[in-house]
Amino acid sequence: MQTILVTGAAGFIGSFVCERLLSDGHRVVGVDNLNAYYEVSLKEARLARLAALPTRQYFQFHKLDIQDNLAMERLFSEQAFDSVVHLAAQAGVRYSLDSPQTYIDSNITGFLNILQGLRQQRETLGLTGAHQAAEGPHLVYASSSSVYGGNKSSPFNEDQATRQPVSLYAATKLANELMAHTYSHLFGIPATGLRFFTVYGPWGRPDMAYFKFAKSILAGQTIEVYNDGQMARDFTYIDDIVEGIIRVLELPPQPQTTGDADFCFEKLAPHRVLNIGNHSPVMLSEFIQILEGALGKAANKRFLPMQPGDVPSTHADTRQLETLTGFAPTTSLSEGLKIFVDWYKSYYG
């Protein structure tokens, strides 16, 4: 049994990761601030699901904010973690246009507190330097496909340049990758960033398009379709995301000999980034048709231009993930949306 910290434990992905880790026989310490970005009752219902599990005695929940550096210092000083799955963040591209400070506080300051906590724990264990990375806790953290910005090359692969984010949300996620690499280099923290591609499924986030579309279609309200439906997304079902996280968590990166004459250090930091997506993008217009079929009801559509911060297409190259773990997401959109719709109707009546 390992003790694993999961931040964002009341969130969409975080609650599923907690459930999987508990079912695998681990002790889970969950952290979430239960903010009101979307309905708190949904977050509380996710926690209630965890509290009803047969292994609930191994789940410990703390309501705290990762921005609170003193609370995070205390958490890391009071408990030793074998691994950390960092999923807490302020999500949403469009919301970052209206509330930019929230993204800096949560995604930058909050992430720094996680890195500092891991640095503190390594120092307590007497671990210093990248050469001892395999002996310390592995950090797996959420990045995003948004770091690719307006990159036209498709599919997106991890070796492509990510110098031109087109939203503040994307910029904070790119900053997370740079921060994690720096701490891996300086303090030997093994870290893996996962670039998620449009995660969907039951118990999901109400601010996501598929969730808002379902609500509006069932209510007979008009849905807003951006870029006239000519946008493609690599929709990835929640179970595939969780499977990828669990497999990666068990495989911490090791410092590697660089072999690069232009790099002044002999070893590369024990840090990597991996795409995790369904490697099968679907046009927004087709997505709506599939959702209509699952709901058994047609949508009233209002076509609008592309919104600031959006990109026309995302497409994950997942070969590195598959090579490392032997796994790549495969759940079809029609299968995943049917499960989501069944849950939605059951939960919201």
- Reduced to 3 states (helix: H, G, I; strand: E, B; else coil), residue 35 is coil
Question: Which residue carries 């310390």 as its tokens?
Answer: 136
pLDDT of 74 reads 96
On whether the 3-348 domain is CATH 3.40.50.720, my answer is yes
Question: What's the N-to-C CA distance of the chain in angstroms?
Answer: 39
The alpha carbons of the chain give a radius of gyration, in whole angstroms, of: 20
Cβ atoms of 140 and 118 closer than 8 Å: no
Rounded distance between C-alpha atoms, residue 275 and residue 59, angstroms: 29
Q: What are phi and psi of 55, to 5 degrees?
A: -100, 25
List residues bridging with 271 in a β-sheet.
191
Q: pTM (2 decimals)?
A: 0.94
Record the tokens describing residue 68, joined without a space. 């609170």
Neighbours of 239 (CB within 10 A): 16
| Catalytic residue chosen out of the listed positions 95, 103, 148, 169 | 169
| Residue 327, SS3 per DSSP | coil
**Could you read off the pLDDT of 66-120 as tens digits, one per residue?**
999 999 999 999 999 999 999 999 998 888 989 999 999 999 999 999 999 999 9
CA distance 225 to 58: 44
Q: What is the pLDDT of residue 249?
A: 97
Q: Are 77 and 120 in contact (CB under 8 A)?
A: yes
For 272-294, what is the mean pLDDT? 95
169 part of the active site: yes
